[in-house]
A and B are shown apart, each in its own frame.
Chain A
Amino acid sequence: MTKINGLTHLINLQEQIIEKKRDEITSEHFKGWGQEKFAPQALKEDQELDAPRGKEIRVVLRNCTLIDPESLDDYISEDGYQALAMVLENNSPEEVIEIVAKSGLRGRGGAGFPTAKKWELTRNNPGNPKYIICNADEGDPGAFMNRRVLEGDPHSVLEGMAIAAFAIGAEQGYVYCRAEYPIAVRTLIKAIQQAQDYGILGNNIFGSDFSFNIELRIGAGAFVCGEETALIASIEGKRGEPRPRPPFPAVSGLWQKPTSINNVETFANVPQIILTGPEWFASMGTEKSKGTKTFALAGDVNHTGLIEVPLGITLREIIYDVGEGVKKNKKLKAIQTGGPMGGCIPASMIDLPVDYESLTAAGSMMGSGGMIVMDEETCMVDIARFFMEFNQEESCGKCTPCRVGTYSMLQILNRICQGKGEDGDIEELERLSKVTRVHSLCGLGQGAPNPVVSTIKHFRDEYEAHIYEHRCPAKVCRALIRFEINKDNCTGCTFCAKNCPVGAITGERRKPHEIDQDICIQCGICFQTCNFNAIEILPGKAQLVGENV
């Protein structure tokens, strides 16, 4: 394999590849051209990434589905690695940091720390060697932007990492990818190998005196490892527990050396900023939040999947233009952003611009980019309970406020959802939230109360209905609802009886069936399987024989 020795060589190669492709297209023997050829095996049925809609602008996702992620040639034909070659030939590391500073790029992992500032701090710290780490431990439930970039365009991340390494003066980089993403891991291994073959990674890249290598490290299913100090501990082969900061990783990171940790999406932005110029990047977004952001749009919205929108866009534009409205024309209730440490934004705030500051002010956060749309049939107490369960389970247990705080809050929420809430529970939740937020060691504990705080703030009436009236307004909490069969609609098809896991449904064929409330566990399978809308969910617990309610 010939090693590429500079920008001119790279551009020549690009022309050759494009030439070759043109020949392939015109060749009449060539069959199967188009999407089919470029879509990787596992993603042929692309339900995740559609053509851009509404105000979408693709920067990070520009190559996804358009190129073969396993072909370096494809990436080169899309101006790949030209930014790196340009930087190595024309710029000093300081200039690179200045370009990124001008673009206004902020960390896409959620906190929004200015990327250039992070690089500058790492560069100016005296320790040597320095390290660059790509945080691909995308653990937020409901978020899959990073996975898609790694599976669809891995080289853009590697290029961004190489540019960052040049800027901070690092020679070794690590990609920390979570184990739940086997395809992303495979694609990355291949991409790193190809880049080494072409001399894009390794010693004396493009004939310069800059050397850089990337090693892939795989996690083992710990959510907290997305936190930067925990991630470093995990790469060092230890338990992934965070440690107090300062010192920040820029001062003392991997093996106590200056380390810069950036998100996958941050790195994928860098080559485009270098190629197209920081002014172009800064022209998108708001005054403080520049550029675009990818979101994983999920939940009760017609068009789910990955989107990339300029920052500053309103939630309304995302849900109704890009997402094509709420499913089945139901009423929008809330939008959950920022993953398990984010918050729920009520439908009344739908004109909120999506940027780092506005989301934080609304009690949520940008997070890595999960965005879950919830319709009127979602119980906000149940959602708060779900996220608290997640946070409680994923709390590493190192610091007491997070370990005990999440557990205590979950206990209360569980009780409320079971209809056993007591007067004063809401106030106790608020108190625990405050303690956990203020005293926890890392972002997980500090953010863990967010789902509770934001739902209490905007949906206090639902909590009160659960506690004082033992009623779930959205008819979700199982202890507070009962299922009954509407005799007019029931055709006696026996389908529900066959699917009932506890055998609570009885009845003769072609005659209306009945649910035995003593046996029913309120699992809702009958409601889902009935084809005739004969199962009704009624508020209020079923009055059982011999039970005093």
Chain B
Amino acid sequence: MKDQVSENIYGLSGQSMHELIHQFPLDQTKIREKIDEILQEYKYVPGGLMVILNEIQSQIGYISQPIQEYVSLVLNTPVSAIAGVVSFYSFFTTEPRGDHTVKFCMGTACYVGGTQQLIRKAEQILNIQSGETTPDNRITLEVCRCVGACSQAPVVVVDEQMYGRLRPSKIPPLIRDILRKYEDS
């Protein structure tokens, strides 16, 4: 039924639905089913575009161009409008991220508390710059805005777990902990 829904709607801009669903990642049935589910649920919510993109970002992990075009066709909104929203908000990414995200808080208290040293340490260990993902797609380093835990500055957030009062010497064990999960499995 879901396929029917997607096949029946044709938008004015971008590629036709038929071409789109053969592109990555929409050719993955699981991913497309998830996106369809999200679209069905929030399609008629007033101002639902933000809700839809938030859901896709959190469930799929990124909003690449084919996904944007797909959303545009289903919502009957120009792709440009969707690309505009996606590029405006820093939480939306167009590229897949690593399995784990290490975020360095750049709030005032953390900045004063030495976040920059922590970042430099992590960059050195993983051999990538902040904002990049390791070649094996395991860890993404990111600098983020104040996470509101200033009394524990400096703070690093690994996925959703928060680590406070860190010093550069605590960064190697932190990263080792993340990588250990791969060794176990």
> CB within 8 Å of B: which residues of A?
47-48, 138-144, 147, 179-182, 217-223, 234-241, 255, 296, 298-300, 304-306, 336, 370, 372, 374, 378, 386-387, 396, 499, 501, 523-525, 528-529
B 133-165 contacts with A by CB, 8 A: 144-153, 160, 164
**In the complex the two chains form, what is the Cα distance from A240 to B48 in whole Å?**
14
As a 0/1 sequence over residues 160 to 175 of chain B, the CB contacts with chain A under 8 angstroms (1 = contact) are 1000100111000000
Whether A221 pairs with B89 at a CB distance below 8 angstroms is yes
The 3 closest A-B pairs by CB, nearest first: A237-B49, A220-B89, A144-B148
- Count class of interface residues, chain B: 35 or more
Q: Are B152 and A237 within 8 A (Cβ)?
A: no
- In the complex, B79 has a CB within 8 A of chain A: no
**Could you tell me the distance in whole angstroms from the C-beta of A479 to the nearest C-beta in chain B?**
14
User: Could you tell me the distance between the alpha carbons of A182 and B160 in the complex, rounded to whole angstroms?
Assistant: 8
A56 to chain B, nearest CB (A): 16
- A234 adjacent to B167 (CB under 8 Å): no
Q: Which residue of B lies closest to A397 (CB)?
A: B88
Q: Chain B contact residues: over half helix, strand or loop, or mixed?
A: helix
Q: Are B151 and A304 in contact (CB-based, < 8 A)?
A: yes
Check A378 against B117 for contact (C-beta < 8 Å): no
Dominant SS among interface residues on chain A: loop
On B, residues with C-beta under 8 Å from A are 46-51, 53-54, 57, 81, 84-85, 88-92, 106-109, 111-112, 114, 116-117, 120-121, 124, 144-153, 160, 164, 167-169
B169 touching A223 by the CB < 8 A rule?
no
Nearest-CB residue, chain A, relative to B148: A144
Structural contact, A147 and B111, CB atoms closer than 8 A:
no
Interface contact A220-B107, CB-CB below 8 Å:
no
A255 touches B112 (CB 8 A): no
Given contacts A220-B50, A221-B89, A237-B47, contact A296 B168 (CB under 8 A): no
In the complex, are the beta carbons of A237 and B106 less than 8 A apart?
no
Query: Do B91 and A140 have beta carbons less than 8 Å apart?
Result: no
* B112 in contact with A237 (CB, 8 Å): no
A238→B85 contact, CB < 8 A:
yes
Q: Contacts of A179 on B, CB cut-off 8 Å?
A: 54, 91
Contact status A239-B88, CB under 8 Å: yes
Q: Which of B92, B144, B169 contacts A220 (CB 8 A)?
A: B92
Contact (Cβ within 8 A) B90 A220: yes
Task: Find chain A residues with CB under 8 A from B57 CB.
Answer: 220
